Structure 1
Amino acid sequence: MRSRKMLTGLEPEVKAGVVKVSVPRTALTITVDGVKMDPFQGFTSWAVFQGSGDRTMVMGDLTLAEDEVSPVMSAALGNGLAVTALHNHFAFDRPRIMFMHIAGTGTTERLATAVHRALDAVQEVRRTPAPAESFGGPDIPATSAIDAKPLEAILGGRGQAKNGMVKFVFERKTTMHGMELGAAMGVNTWAAFAGSPESAVVDGDFAMLESEVQGVLRALIGAKIHVVAIHSHMIQEQ
């Protein structure tokens, strides 16, 4: 317990052999549908540790403002944690709050240090008290003029063009209830490009196996592409 306190910088709570550290988001003034919320009402970051030595497991849920998501995900992935979900819990929340689920196995020291660094990333962003209202990227032209050919050469697929925008769709396969499903049933990865060659925006959706998620997240974060959600669309697929 003492080791985890020293490494995370937080006072732990111990119950049934599980050690929990919590960080209420007291510095953020959060409202939901106009009602001021207390951290007790679900706005507290936490991580729990079970096991000891090199057989320790951590799981956690980090409560984040939108501008904290990319730096915290980068810190978590860069320090050996897995990011297993990213989603919202509320509607009409101001500022918009996202919840990032993390997990990992290894030594107590490595996991506690990784959690500490993820939480440090929050504090670094919050040197500016008010959450940002945008990613802060360049202005995107109102009229798009994206040329599909260079993108087709890079992505190795044929793009669909519309009004100066270009979209790429890559089919994946899965099975559900004994039926094979593909792109026509929504099992696909896609990316849509708009703007100009010099000032473009991309949005998309990656269909992944569990074993692919962490590698894809690292690639996106490494390319300075913001990850805005991680979730499943189906159940009982194989």
Structure 2
Amino acid sequence: MSVSCLQPSVRRALAAFSAAGLLTLTGCGTLGDEPSSAAAPPGSGQPNPGGGAAPVPTTEKDWKSVAGTLGHTGVLMDKTVYRVPLPRKDLKVTSHSVDVKPGLALGGYAAFAKYGDGTMLMGDLVVTEDELPKVTDALQKAGIEQTALHKHLLEQSPPVWWTHIHGMGDPATLAKGVKAALDATSTPAASPPPASQPPIDLDTAAIDSALGRKGTADGGIYKFTAARKDPVTDGKHILPPGLGVTTGINFQPLGGKKAAINGDFVMTADEIQHVIQALRKGGIDLVEIHNHTLNEQPRLFYMHFWATGDGAALAKTLRPALDATRLAAPKR
């Protein structure tokens, strides 16, 4: 707490104690318990005075049992997060007359990170309205928490829901719980990646320039992912970006350099209205504002959006919204 924020009578009393040598007055922060801005380096596994332990380094081999149980191979990110994509390639979803590709809005995932006290699971499962009750029952039976339930599209046929999940424990046990939930859906088995990426009918150079970042072609979708600048924790563990605490922007080509855009901004409470204003100034629709997890610090909110139009023009509208949030500088 800042001394300047206290009532005058309290300040006078504290000053008297200070003059007597009984108390040292500090600046803004908690008296006698100033937070440290130093964070443990990612992958160190060491406690962070600011609020959590970093994940420990792993290898692809460490996650072999997880991949085998899920029947889907993941990608090891920054040597700490094993992220398994779970796209709903079986679903034929339309929204505002757009045939939604899995990479635009139907890409579920399960991400795992190892800490000194166990393995953390975070993820997002894409389920139909008919599948949702069975998925919920399977997750609850496995002891896996559902931390959010919402939609990512304004209008859709058939109805689809997105449920965020969280667990802590043995990785093989967590994977079995996720597999039980997947078995309650029609999520298809993993398929090998295409030999080459489908063409992206967009001015990707102009989009990159407008957003100040380099996108990635993935299954016919042009994607951007941006992490927060400051560390995110759950109070005990540092949550690396690969677990899902990021901004995601996806462009699906519609022909003639036009695109459908969908994704979500990760924001603190004080950033929300600025992002709304930036998006609406360019005619981009809001879909949802919600949380994905239960106890992250700082408290984070996610804003999903939708629009169609010229890809480069949409990117120019998205840039002020990006700049209204505290994001890490893009990797060069």
Are residue 120 (structure 1) and residue 183 (structure 2) matched? yes
Structure 1 gaps, min length 5: 127-230
Q: Tell me the distance in 1 between the aligned counterparts of 2:116 and 2:88.
A: 30
Quote the offset at 1:123 in angstroms.
Answer: 2.9
Matched, 1:24 2:87: yes
Aligned in 2, Cα 1:97/1:43: closer, same or farther, shift over 3 Å?
Answer: same
Contact 1:54 1:107 in 2 (8 A): no
SS of the residue 1:117 aligns to: helix
Compute the displacement of 1:2 (Å).
0.8
TM-score norm. by structure 1 comes to: 0.51
Partner of 1:74: helix, strand, or coil?
helix
SS in 2 for 1:122: coil
Q: Deviations for 1:217-237, whole angstroms, at most 9, x for unmatched residues?
A: xxxxxxxxxxxxxx77xxx9x
The percent of aligned pairs where both chains have the same amino acid is 34
CA contact (8 A) 2:152 2:162 kept: yes
Q: Which residue, out of 42, 47, 51, partners 2:114?
A: 51
Inter-partner Cα distance in structure 2 for 1:4 and 1:53: 18
Q: Which residue of 2 aligns with 1:14?
A: 76
Matches within 5 A, 1:140-179: none
**Any conservation in 2 of the 1:53–1:107 contact (CA below 8 Å)?**
no
The aligned counterpart of 1:108 is 171
SS at the partner of 1:11? coil
Q: Partner letter of residue 70 of structure 2? A: T
Q: 1:120, 1:53 → 2: CA distance?
A: 30
**Unmatched tracts of structure 2, length 5 or more:** 1-62, 189-289, 292-298, 300-332
Give the RMSD, CA atoms, in angstroms.
2.1
Which structure: larger Rg? 2
4+ residue stretches of structure 1 with deviation over 4 A?
none
Distance 1:53 1:38 in 2: 38
Instruction: Give the drift of 1:52.
Output: 6.0
Contact 1:33–1:92 (Cα < 8 Å) also in 2: yes
* Match runs of 1:200-215 below 5 Å: none
Matched, 1:78 2:141: yes
Distance 1:25 1:54 in 2: 33
SS at match of 2:89: coil
- CA deviation digits over 1:30-72, x for unaligned, max 9? 1011110100102011110000686000001011110011000
Alignment TM-score, normalising by the size of structure 2: 0.37
The range that moved more, 53-62 or 95-104, is 53-62
Amino acid at match of 1:86: L
* Partner residue in 2 for 1:98: 161
Asked whether the equivalents of residues 86 and 110 of structure 2 are also in contact (C-alpha less than 8 Å), the reply is no
CA–CA distance in 2 between the matches of 1:92 and 1:72? 22
For residues 70 and 110 of structure 2, the distance between their equivalents in structure 1, rounded to whole angstroms, comes to 10
* Contact 1:54-1:108 at 8 Å conserved across structures: no
1:67 aligns with 2:127: no
Whether 1:35 and 2:98 are equivalent positions in the alignment is: yes
Code of the residue aligned with 1:22 in structure 2: it is P
CA distance in 1, matches of 2:127, 2:183: 12
User: Shift of the alpha carbon at 1:82?
Assistant: 0.4
